[in-house]
Structure 1
Amino acid sequence: MADEKNSKQLFWYNIALLGFVSVWGLGNVVNNFAQQGLVVVVSWVLIMTFYFVPYTLMVGQMGATFKDAEGGVSSWIKEVSTRRLAYFAAWTYWVVHIPYLAQKPQAIMIAGSWLFQSNGNFVKTMPSIVVQSLCLVLFLLFLYLASRGITTLNRIGTIAGMSMFIMSILFIILGLAAPAMTGSGIATQNMNHLSSYMPKFNFKYFTTISMLVFAVGGSEKISPYVNSTKNPAKNFPKGMIVLAIMVAVSAIMGSFAMGMIFDANNLPDDLMANGAYLAFQRLGHYFHVGNLLLWIYAIANAMASIAALAVSIDAPLRILLDDADPDYIPAGLRKRNKKGTPVNGYRLTGLLVSLIIIIPALGIGGTNSLYNWLLNLNSVVMPLRYLWVFLAFMLLNRHLDKFHSDYMFVKNSKVGFGFGLWCFLFTAFACILGMVPKIEYASNPSAWWFQLILNVLMPAILIGIGFILPAIARRHSTKELQ
């Protein structure tokens, strides 16, 4: 029994690898390079040092303190606060996935167009309303399949996820080696000048940091592994620090590779949508393998997006409803069919995602513009769930004497509270400024205002629905008593 127990113990390097695979991807490099260019190198150093490291170490302490909590962040909030706040944490965790679900059909279609056409003309030529209509059909198909249960996609997603991880590492190696091994030129001038990497800390720069926060967030997924770590007080923080170093090195080296392949001073408008495919296509030509690398990446990305779409329809909804508090979530939303599927939960998901797919297409012309907008919306909405991690950590430090943990990030409750407050305020700051549209106001004022209104309304409506449900639940409970 002792040998079996020891075999299940994780060391710091296991934690670092598990975290790296679950947190990091090539898209994080491409999207942030598209918004900031070479200055993103310094941005990565800053975000890793002052945000990502304390974030992951807070997660470690929360996971170690509430080792038996099954509901993740909402369970942490319930332990340190009230059932009402726990409900809002669970609601936020689910509802922020709505824009994510709306974007995945786009990613699948773009991957398919590169696989069969080997170019990025799809996002340049197809009318946005046509693409979004196809995306709606694709989403509704997967919504139906998810309601029927498609467990095989979990295995496909694991394989695709590992393939994407390998392709991300391969991109960095080939991108950095290409000039020396193939004689290809470096696309960006003055990459050896320090001034090329220094950000201008102006308003425009701060509107892009939500994408950085979006890229490094999500380490709360690793919290369950704290209890499987041997000597967690030593190995878990060590693993988290190594994770931060791995992510920082990948981000910085990946950004260097992007600068060698693309001119950072003259980036194409479709870099977010097509950048990774263009990069692998160019690398394939540099190393004389044609479009082979492009096709492999397109297949891996399509399969990963398909699996993520199917899993993200079901998993966050079940987290919300499996431990649903009847005082806050109406019985109708908790209703299940004979197969255990929360049918009304699926219908609510379908309605909200459909609105986010179709409404923006009515005012945002061009598939590429729509793709960029939806990705930026995700960078505003998705980090809202991180706020609950930091709130839980602050509340934990208010009552530190009541809870025991094998691992402590900081032992001083006031210092711990300060770290939680800093990350909370920084995340909120990034989300608020991230709402500012990334298009130039002078080029299209009406489109700029349309995007701003959507960026403000979408999060407000999604979170606002969470305030309505408890009132509906109370009304139904009153009727039952009568």
Structure 2
Amino acid sequence: MTELDTKKRYISWPVLALMDFVTVVGFDDLTYNFQNQGMGVITSWIIMILMYVIPYSLMVGQLGSTFDDDGGGLTSWVRETSGEFLGYFAAWTYWAASIPYVVDTANTIAVALGWVFNGNANLQTQMSNSSFALFTLLIFVFFIIIQSRFEHSLEVLSTIGGIAMFGMTVLFVVMTVTALGMGGHIATKPLTVHTIVPTFNLHYLTTLGFLIFAINGAERIAPFVTKMRNPNRDFPKAMIMLSIMTGFLTIFGSFSLGVFFNAYHLPDDLKINGSYYAFQALGQRFHMGNTLMYVFAFTEIFYLAALLAVLLNAMTRMLISDTGNRYMPKFLRKTNSAGLPINGYILTVGLSAFIMFLGILLPNMKDIFNWLLNLNGIISPGVTCWIFWSFIKIRMNDDKYKSGYVYIKNKKLSLAVGWWCLILTGVATVAAVGPQDVPFGSTMWWYELVINFVAIIVLIGLGFVLPYITKRERRSQTGTAFTRIQRIGIWVAVLGTLVGDLYLGDVNFSRNIGYIILLTAAGLTLIVAMGWREHDLKESLE
């Protein structure tokens, strides 16, 4: 091998920074957090970048360098530092956190299609909650089918789409500054220093998790750290470049939103339609009509469609392949003739339908969209805690875990920074459970609080149940964890959830709650009471 061939293997630090940036933040992240905090989010972005994004990214670099033989994956970091079960559970929680994300992605595609066909925000008034749920489920099924045929091409398309989305965000900032230079006015008035300083209260604390959700994802580039020529020197440069780009986009992007939206009186549908309103307003400033809005809408569809297809495939395969036979039931590891984990896909669709089912009782499509976004702000930061936990473990045992790149050579200081990030993320995760977009103490506030807990308990709690199901499979003479009646009960519960998505959402609230209680009771009765004893008797015969 020549020296030239060897050089081709290395990744330069600017390329690594660009690869990471595409996955970290997008235009929608700006509008979501702008509605949460107004212009005060500018100060929040500055604080988060300096005190969170930079150390977070550099910790990921050391973890990726330490466990380069394991591919640099989050679950391998936890497994190597904390044992097999926690490694499995990290894989499960990482997968579970993807469920609300893919549901939200499918919802966003539906909203984008509405803007393409209507040219306005009328979809949320035209489509009932049940129709919205059905449309989302159809999107799921469609992309599960096509991803098996175009998997590799979709990965390329999602990368291209991510770069295009970044380009649209930069274009928005540049054109906004240009419009101001041409004599344009700022909608947010009065614009003072106090305008960009957030109010640090309980509401601010509940929105902190969504800031973390918007900027996490740096762990995706961990496997590439060892592909740099000099990681100790070049990786920090890449992360500084990443932080500068993130800072530019979030700070100036948020300011640009303040040019078109009065931060003191924001539209209540800014999260679901804000991106389209922004490009619509920008196009009108430059006498371009809805051209920029349509360009953004098609970019959104193109990027999210490819991303959704890749996610549905990658998350299911990762869960099944990275947890092993010890904790994952055989029926979930089963693949068809094409090598596709078909039961894993069914579980994904079933849990996604369950998440939609929880939100369908909310007043309208906008509230469902907002609740799903906020659910991501709870679960995703919670999973990020695994990163800081693993970093703390390797620094506590730095004689055992050697790395080509070391973030903060002083052990005590590095541990202090690790604990700071872990505690901050943990507090933000817990605080985000409080509903954000409904009046405090209202009926909807309490309902969202309840379904937040239900979603977390089901998604995370199922990770504790699966190892027990696997144990029952091994103890059973039939090789199955459930009896025939129990399997019928499970299918009744799943189909009941799907039917509930179509039936509920437009009728009496109390009647809907009663339906949920009845459905839950029926499913549990079939799963537990009618079949549990029968299966235990079979096990005792071994």
Conserved? CA contact 2:370–2:437, under 8 Å: no
Query: Secondary structure of the equivalent of 1:208?
Result: helix
Query: What residue number does 1:89 align with?
Result: 90
Query: Secondary structure of the equivalent of 1:358?
Result: helix
Conserved? CA contact 1:123–1:273, under 8 Å: no
Task: Report the more deviating stretch, 276-285 or 65-74.
Answer: 65-74
Query: What residue number does 1:166 align with?
Result: 167
Q: Give the deviation of 1:90 after TM superposition.
A: 0.7
CA distance in 1, matches of 2:438, 2:373: 17
- Aligned Cα root-mean-square deviation (Å): 1.7
Q: Give the deviation of 1:102 after TM superposition.
A: 1.3
Residues 234-253 of structure 1 aligned to structure 2 (within 5 Å): 234-253=233-252
Deviations 1:39-65 (A, max 9, x none): 001000111111111100100000111
CA distance in 2, matches of 1:176, 1:271: 21
Residues 99-118 of structure 1 aligned to structure 2 (within 5 Å): 99-118=100-119
CA distance in 1, matches of 2:187, 2:244: 27
Query: What residue number does 2:387 align with?
Result: 389
Residues 48-127 of structure 1 aligned to structure 2 (within 5 Å): 48-70=49-71, 72-127=73-128
> Residue 124 and residue 269 in structure 1: after superposition, are their counterparts in 2 closer, same or farther (change >3 A)?
farther
**Runs of 4+ with >6 A deviation:** none
Gaps of 5+ in 1: none
| Amino acid of the structure 2 residue aligned with 1:472 | I
Q: Give the deviation of 1:149 after TM superposition.
A: 5.6
Which residue of 450, 460, 468 maps to 1:471?
468
| Amino acid of the structure 1 residue aligned with 2:222 | S
Which residue of 423, 445, 449 maps to 1:448?
445
Count of residue pairs the alignment pairs up: 478
Query: Secondary structure of the equivalent of 1:268?
Result: coil
TM-score by length of 2: 0.85
Q: Give the deviation of 1:414 after TM superposition.
A: 2.9
| Amino acid of the structure 2 residue aligned with 1:352 | L
Query: What residue number does 1:286 align with?
Result: 285
Q: Give the deviation of 1:222 after TM superposition.
A: 1.2
Deviations 1:2-30 (A, max 9, x none): 11221232232222222212212111111
Q: Give the deviation of 1:147 after TM superposition.
A: 5.0
Deviations 1:225-272 (A, max 9, x none): 111112110110121122112101210000110001111111001111
Which residue of 395, 412, 415 maps to 2:413?
415
| Amino acid of the structure 1 residue aligned with 2:368 | L
Query: What residue number does 1:132 align with?
Result: 133
Conserved? CA contact 2:72–2:223, under 8 Å: no
CA distance in 2, matches of 1:450, 1:270: 20
Q: Give the deviation of 1:324 after TM superposition.
A: 2.8
Query: What residue number does 1:217 align with?
Result: 216
Deviations 1:332-377 (A, max 9, x none): 111111111111111111110011123311x201111111111111
Query: What residue number does 1:198 align with?
Result: 197
> Residue 440 and residue 352 in structure 1: after superposition, are their counterparts in 2 closer, same or farther (change >3 A)?
closer
Conserved? CA contact 1:71–1:323, under 8 Å: no
Deviations 1:84-141 (A, max 9, x none): 1100111111111111121222111111111121111212443222212221222222
| Amino acid of the structure 2 residue aligned with 1:142 | F
Q: Which has the higher contact order (CA 8 A, sep 6+)?
A: 1
Matched, 1:460 2:461: no
Which residue of 398, 402, 418 maps to 2:400?
402
Query: What residue number does 1:355 align with?
Result: 354
Matched, 1:378 2:376: yes
Query: What residue number does 1:275 align with?
Result: 274
TM-score by length of 1: 0.95
Conserved? CA contact 2:91–2:322, under 8 Å: no
Conserved? CA contact 1:126–1:366, under 8 Å: no
Residues 426-441 of structure 1 aligned to structure 2 (within 5 Å): 426-441=424-439
> Residue 473 and residue 356 in structure 1: after superposition, are their counterparts in 2 closer, same or farther (change >3 A)?
same
Whose radius of gyration is greater, 1 or 2? 2
Query: What residue number does 1:324 align with?
Result: 323
Query: What residue number does 1:20 align with?
Result: 21
Gaps of 5+ in 2: 480-541
